[in-house]
Amino acid sequence: MSLLAVEGLAKAFGGVRAVAGIGFMVQPGEMVAIIGPNGAGKTTCFNLLGGQLRPDAGRVTFGGRNITGWAPPALARAGIGRTFQVAQVFRSMTARENVQVARAACRRRLLSLLRSLAGTDTAEADRLLDAVGLAAAADQPVTALAYADLKRLELAVALAGEPILLLMDEPTAGIAASERQALMALVRNLVAARGLSVLFTEHDMDVVFGHADRVIVMHEGALLADGAPERIRTDPRVREVYLGGSLDDVGIAAGGQA
Amino acid sequence: MSFFVAQLLTGLANAAALFLVAAGLSVIFGVTRVVNFAHGSFYMLGAYLAYSLVTRLGTGLAEFWLAVLLAGLAVGVIGMVVEIVLLRRLYRAPELMHLVATFAVVLIVQDVTLALWGPQDLLGPRPAALEGGIIVLGERVPVYDLVLIVLGPLVLGGLWLLLNRSRWGILVRAATEDREMVGALGIDQKWLFTSVFFLGAFLAGIGGAVQLPREPANLMMDLNIIAEAFVVVVIGGMGSIGGAYLAALIIALLHAFGIVILPEITLVLVFLVMAVVLVARPWGLLGRPEAITSAPAHGVGPEARWQGRWLVPTFAASLAALALLPLATDVYGLQVTTEVLIFALFAVSLQFIIGVGGMISFGHAAYLGLGAYGAALLVHHLDAPMELALVAAPIAAGVGALVFGWLCVRLSGVYLAMLTLAFAQITWSAAFQWYAFTGGDNGILGIWPSPWAADPVIYYYVTLLLSSAAIAALWRARFAPFGYALRAARDSELRAAAVGIDVRHTRWLAFALAGTAAGLGGGLYAFLKGSVFPDVLAIPVSVDGLVMLLLGGVNAVLGPLIGAAAVTGGRIALVAETELWRAVLGAVIVGMVLWFPDGIAGTVRRGFGRGRR
């Protein structure tokens, strides 16, 4: 059975149908990329899955449960982790505290008034920070971290919730090209080690074709293609959408950046 | 039927002034993003200036309208001065600063008005031509009311034309939509903002001036109207002139009909209407969702971590010193310190909401007051002993905070601030109006501690014990997972929700917790003073709390203690020294906001160059 099943998902803003009845699946342990030109509806689709928006129509099933329209905290408890296009971290805290809060949330300890957060789950938080390569920065206030490190920290925060599925909206946006592959390799390893599934959107075609097991192409809010990277790379419709059917200057075929 | 018509017309007439003030507030906010607390002061100045002008110019019809117009223009100019001198330098500052700075203007205007026009109410003469009434459906309706009824839609139409048909209006609307873009197009924003302030203040001034024949100019006009104007703006939708008119009608009609049924009912009705509107449409009747700002309430930076380590030793040392204080001071000194301790608890609880939670509360006095009244009413009506009353005080305030907080946590930013203020004003009005139960402005007297605690030294120790225990508990909660969850929601609502934090619940609970703690302070306050008056619930007390936080540093753990000592001590000294203590306090706040926005603690910290990061 697939882990995530999306059927007929739709969302309109005013008269604009940002997502127009899309459907796809994610299997356990799979890393799936959603790509598409700007305005294809990727982020809207992501926000529908992550609970930031409520769909107008459609159905989302996760692990056999209907989770359509659930709010983010409920999704988190159900096992869906999330990272954002612009890294969202708790700016007034240290790296370790960021992970500790997420652990406390996962373990339903948020109403605890008497114990001190500093002493809870310290070893676990440090393990997670170590896993994303931030062990040395544990005591740093996050305002002192470089942006690429914030992306890593956000990953650790998302992992602290023990997700089964990780939704990553442009995981490499805003970081240097040289660091993108390293970050995605890290995600890849974590997926393997923890048996996670990952659904991510991405603009960098090197990242997409280097790391996705499967690629979903969106165009004008709908599903255009869904298949293995090699098939997508050669799909004429995808070339048409990205290249307007003429130019050969960007990405898909050459495997460069779109 | 005729009675119905009479109340309807009265309500419609009342709506006019309220609409003028709310529209001005809304226009100013739309463009500058400043919630102008001093808008009620502009309204009050309009009434006083109209009084002086009418008494000089005479009561002919033309003279009267000339006086109204001149009063409006004069207030408009005053508004421009406030903008140029004060607000222009604060546009980039957090919302909290706007509110506190404009409240300083309220304080200054109050003392200036008192100095110029004296303390007595001034009823302006009604123009002879507008005297008398006409019979509508068997009821005599004052002609002047009918004039006001027409004035509302006239101003609404005029504003619509101005905003939609003039180049200036198009710029204003463009700036309301997207300020940066207007700036990028090369429009002089300074001039635009100043002119918007002129218009807003002008409207408020006219509102005050036309109210003069119906209501004497008095020194309570400013805060009374501003609380209602906030309610109108929250219900109508910030930045929407039509919404302001609609909401002003609703509120004025509720008052007109409520007052004849049961005055206390009016408050409940206003509360219920607000509750319904905010649950269904948090952005107001005619407002738009995206207009709600969700920027952090104040600069969010790294928490000062050394405080965590030094907190316990510092706190223990202060407690030891305070425990020895009775050896070193007289009864008066002890009573002042007792009051400081109570306000320290008040400030720490406010910081829990504002600093840790990122929710600007402008009505924290409500919970101090609910505690004080909860205790006092129990003693007064049921002869309860002090011990029981001190248990009841935090419960009463906690329940109040649960009810109000349930609505408040649905909003953020300035909407939240306005709503908290409106709730505080509702509790104040209840205490003020409900003579049979609360004694109204006569207060409740004879609230003395139990015999064993009657000695000021003993009562000082009782207060020291209870407030330091409550402060320690709030600090504990702040550094517990709960406090971190609250901070997480403040730092990034998106992230917090995505890790499984129920942001609304967390904030609601924090609100209730802080309200409960403030309520304990209120109970202690009642027994310290031996009496309770509506003043304890009034806006100035809420603002005192904010000033304490600003002085001490919004996020500094020990800040509220420093702030409480400085403000409470300073106020007691100031009131003893000068008649113009409000103006002095206002000037101090203005100076602080302009030159020391980080507060004492922040400035000291910067001074020592915390280069460790």
- Per residue in B388-420, pLDDT (tens digit) is 999 999 999 999 999 999 988 888 777 888 888
Contact call for residues A205 and A255 (beta carbons, < 8 A): yes
| Residue at A155 is within a domain | yes
Structure letter (DSSP) for residue B409:
T
Nearest to A157 by CA among A85, A106, A111, A211: A106
Question: Which tens digits make up the pLDDT trace of A34-61?
Answer: 998 888 888 899 999 999 899 999 999 9
ipTM above 0.95?
no
Tell whether A3 and A68 lie within a shared domain: yes
Whether B288 shows a pLDDT value over 50: the answer reads yes
Question: Which tens digits make up the pLDDT trace of B194-203?
Answer: 999 999 999 9
- Nearest by CB: B613 against A89, A118, A144: A144
| Residue at A176 is within a domain | no
CA distances in angstroms from B487 to B60, B213, B475, B613, listed in the order given? 61, 51, 13, 21
| Residue at A25 is within a domain | yes
**Chain A residues inside the 8 Å CB shell of B290:** none
Which residues have CB under 8 Å from A143's CB, separation 6+?
Answer: A91, B301, B302, B613
Mutate to test the interface with A, among B354, B356, B499 (most CBs of A within 10 A): B499
Helix (H) or strand (E) holding A32: strand A31-35
Tell whether A92 and A45 lie within a shared domain: no
Cβ–Cβ below 8 Å for B481 and A157: no
Distance from CA of B493 to the nearest CA of A (A): 9
Give the position of tokens 């129920």: B502
Domain boundaries, chain B: 2-291, 307-538
φ, ψ of residue A203 to 5 degrees: the values are -100, -25
Distance CA B411, CA B234 (A): 10
| Residue at A183 is within a domain | no
Tell whether A62 and A108 lie within a shared domain: no
Structure letter (DSSP) for residue A156:
H
φ, ψ of residue A214 to 5 degrees: the values are -150, 150
Whether B293 shows a pLDDT value over 70: the answer reads no
CA distances in angstroms from B523 to A63, B389, B452, listed in the order given? 53, 7, 17
Residues of the domain holding A248: 1-73+166-171+190-258
Which region holds residue B132: left if phi is over 0, alpha if psi is between -120 and 50, else beta? left
Burial of B335 (0-12, 13-18, 19+ CB in 10 A): middle
Which residues have CB under 8 Å from B388's CB, separation 6+?
Answer: B378
pLDDT at B416: 85
Would you give the distance in Å from CA B220 to the centre of its chain?
14
Give the position of tokens 């809060």: A101
3-state secondary structure of B540: helix
| Residue at A178 is within a domain | no
Number of domains observed in the structure of chain A: 2
Give the position of tokens 């700075």: B101
Give per-10-residue mean pLDDT for chain A (258 aa).
91 88 92 89 91 92 93 94 91 92 88 80 91 91 91 94 93 87 89 91 88 92 90 87 57 44
Structure letter (DSSP) for residue B225:
H
Tell whether A51 and A84 lie within a shared domain: no
| Architecture of the B2-291 domain | Orthogonal Bundle (1.10)
Tell whether A69 and A86 lie within a shared domain: no
Nearest to B373 by CA among B394, B343, B403: B394
Tell whether A150 and A201 lie within a shared domain: no
Contact call for residues A9 and A23 (beta carbons, < 8 A): yes
φ, ψ of residue B417 to 5 degrees: the values are -60, -45
Point out which residues pair with A65 in neighbouring strands: A62
Tell whether A91 and A52 lie within a shared domain: no
Tell whether A97 and A66 lie within a shared domain: no
- The more confidently predicted of residues B202 and B94 is B202
Cβ–Cβ below 8 Å for A111 and B483: no
Burial of B609 (0-12, 13-18, 19+ CB in 10 A): exposed
Distance from CA of B511 to the nearest CA of A (A): 14
Cβ–Cβ below 8 Å for A112 and B300: no
Question: Which tens digits make up the pLDDT trace of B181-237?
Answer: 777 777 777 888 899 999 999 999 999 999 998 889 999 899 889 888 988 988 888
B241 part of contact set with chain A, CB < 8 Å: no
CATH number (domain holding residue A153):
3.40.50.300
| Residue at A214 is within a domain | yes
**Chain A residues inside the 8 Å CB shell of B487:** 90, 92-93
Question: Which tens digits make up the pLDDT trace of B505-542?
Answer: 999 999 999 999 999 999 999 999 999 999 999 888 99
* Cα pseudo-dihedral B250, B255, B258, B259, rounded to 10: -170
